[in-house]
Structure 1
Amino acid sequence: MTLVLENNAARPRSKRTKRPGLWLMLPAAAAMLLAFGAPLIFSAWYSFTGWSLVRPASKSEFVGLSNYTRVLTDHEYWQAIGVTLTYAASAVTIECILGIALALLLNKQMFGRGIFRSLMLIPMVMTPAVVGLFWKLFFEESDGLFNYFLTAAGLPALPWLGVSMALVSIVILDVWQATPFFMLIMLAGLQSMDRNIVEAAEIDGASRLQVFRYITLPHLVPYIMVAAAFRIIGALADFDKIYLLTFGGPGNVTTTVSLYAYNRGFKIFDIGQTTAISWLFIILVLTITAPLIWHLLRGSSTARH
């Protein structure tokens, strides 16, 4: 009887202790809602208007779905979609493979592991603008560092920023900068793995390849999905380094959706069409990342049950 009374008395007290926490979170939640929600609402409205900066009175001109129709029927938009998807898929795939390989290497006891791990983080913390300008010195066809070494070795110089290789060059750039992100997450996954299972498999005669295929890789799948979701969003939205490296050229070879929207907004000054492109881009990102997030949430709920 005493225990029942004590439990009943403890319930209201626990509810009361939660309320101050909710009230303390309310200002931060309101600020985030205002900072992120208000621009989304305004951009959604302007995507249905014919607002152009060269026609100030057009700000409140309602045009319905005209902006979306113009974008979806534009050949350059679909070309930008193809470039964006090719760039993101290629870069994220290579980053995932290299990230797992480097994590497996750094998970072992080796001389200079801490120094190498610290050096690997340098590309990740550099700003995209600096990275774009930095790598442009490497990719220059006439006096770039890469072609200098190629010609010194007796090999022909390559048009790194030409039509045939510009997309490959921005993929190389993104792989260099973002692979450490994959490596860190994969390394965290490897260090959280139960070593007893691996040792038991090795005692039973499993080879290193079998241990990786049947134990290590399944354990890393959730970590791969988390890293892939973040990097897919980042790669799809890349703008700074691509703009500074190639300006979306030559022609439209490296014009991603972000650069396509930039050209519509700051060269043609069509704000209505630019906001429509932004909302179509949000739908594209959600369509690609939603299956990964759903799989992760389903996996976590299954693990709890």
Structure 2
Amino acid sequence: MTVTTDAARRTEGRSVSPKVPWWRHKNTLAYALVAVPLVVLAIALLLPVGFNAWVSLHSWSLVDQGGPKFIGLGNYEQIFTDPRYRGTVLRTFVFVVGTVGVQLIVGFAMALFLNRHFRTLKALRTVLLLPMMVSEVVVGMAWRYMYEYSGGALNWLLSLVGLGPVHWLGPDLALLSIIFADAWSNIPFVTLILFTALQTVPRDILDAAAVDGAQRWTRLRHVIIPMVQPAILVVLMFRTMFAIRAFTLVWILTEGGPGGTTNLIAIDVYKSAFSNYNLGLGGALSWVLVAISLVIAILYIRWLNREPLY
């Protein structure tokens, strides 16, 4: 009784504010304004994703009058058992490793060069950004002209030194030519990111390593690379994600040919759905592409979250 009386005395004289209804709360309008575009965005995202998942479980040909027929995982079974699709996955892997590897090696070398001559090469840094500003369609058309067998720029240069023309987009060199063209258009992005990371390496650490007798290669291997490792991993993740779904440049140069030698997963998705009118198989292939991308992204993120090397 005494405790209750004391509590009543303490609260005596205080004004108890009435409970405000939720619709009159000061943050309600802000939440409502944010919720509307979020709902619209969720619908715009989830509807196509859900429809594609539904389509991938059906046999649906646009030339078939019967309409979609539920076959469960039949499309996925065809993908994993057909040797042609295994070749497509392997070819995509070769393309990704090739183009990302060239971008990383050349981009890192250029970033080191720019970092060493930072003050004298400001104009070159501007020129490096030009390929990033050009549309991928324009890049593809330009490289297609240079790769032309008759009258192409590369074969014209070869003729100046007495060499014969080369089938750059033939069965033997088509994939390698596409790797080179894709790497050329994306090296500036890698260079820019790694150059920015190199600018954050403390100069006193490099000077201390030099005083201790570390040679240039030793400083690069044991000081510079470990300190810019997070930037390298971020670049690898982004470029791998973009390379694994490469479509525009490949389609403009070869359309997946000749003889399927440049037929990547994204090209197969398009051909299955819009050339062969098999929407079910095209939808299943797109989910395989998403699954591969997710696995690679998870591996990169786990690697990025590990303890640093320095």
- Corresponding position: 1:207 with 2:215: yes
Q: Would the alpha carbon gap of residues 20 and 207 (structure 1) be closer, same or farther in structure 2, given more than 3 Å must change?
A: farther
- Quote the residue 2:45 is aligned against: 36
Q: Using the alignment, how far apart are the partners of 2:77 and 2:162 within structure 1?
A: 53
- Find the structure with the greater CA-based Rg: 2
Q: Using the alignment, how far apart are the partners of 1:137 and 1:101 within structure 2?
A: 28
Give the 3-state SS of the residue equivalent to 1:156 in structure 2: coil
- Give the AA of the match of 1:180: P
Q: Using the alignment, how far apart are the partners of 1:149 and 1:77 within structure 2?
A: 38
1:55 deviation in Å? Answer: 2.5
- Corresponding position: 1:232 with 2:240: yes
- Give the AA of the match of 2:62: L
1:111 deviation in Å? Answer: 6.2
TM-score (norm 2): 0.86
TM-score (norm 1): 0.87
Q: Using the alignment, how far apart are the partners of 2:273 and 2:120 within structure 1?
A: 49
Larger mean CA deviation between 243-252 and 102-111 belongs to 102-111
- Give the AA of the match of 1:223: A
1:157 deviation in Å? Answer: 1.9
- Quote the residue 1:280 is aligned against: 288
- Give the AA of the match of 2:150: S
- Corresponding position: 1:248 with 2:256: yes
Q: Would the alpha carbon gap of residues 125 and 31 (structure 1) be closer, same or farther in structure 2, given more than 3 Å must change?
A: farther
Q: Using the alignment, how far apart are the partners of 1:17 and 1:221 within structure 2?
A: 46
- Quote the residue 2:62 is aligned against: 53
Runs (4+) of structure 1 exceeding 3 A deviation are 16-29, 109-112, 297-300
- 1:231-257 CA-to-partner distances (Å, cap 9, x unmatched) read 111111010110110111110100001
- Corresponding position: 1:289 with 2:297: yes
Summarize the alignment of residues 83-102 of structure 1 with structure 2, pairs less than 5 Å apart: 83-102=91-110
1:19 deviation in Å? Answer: 8.3
Larger mean CA deviation between 86-95 and 73-82 belongs to 73-82
Identical-pair percentage: 33
Q: Would the alpha carbon gap of residues 23 and 99 (structure 1) be closer, same or farther in structure 2, given more than 3 Å must change?
A: farther
* RMSD of aligned alpha carbons: 2.3
Q: Using the alignment, how far apart are the partners of 2:105 and 2:218 within structure 1?
A: 18
Q: Using the alignment, how far apart are the partners of 1:88 and 1:129 within structure 2?
A: 20
Q: Using the alignment, how far apart are the partners of 1:177 and 1:293 within structure 2?
A: 25
1:179 deviation in Å? Answer: 0.7
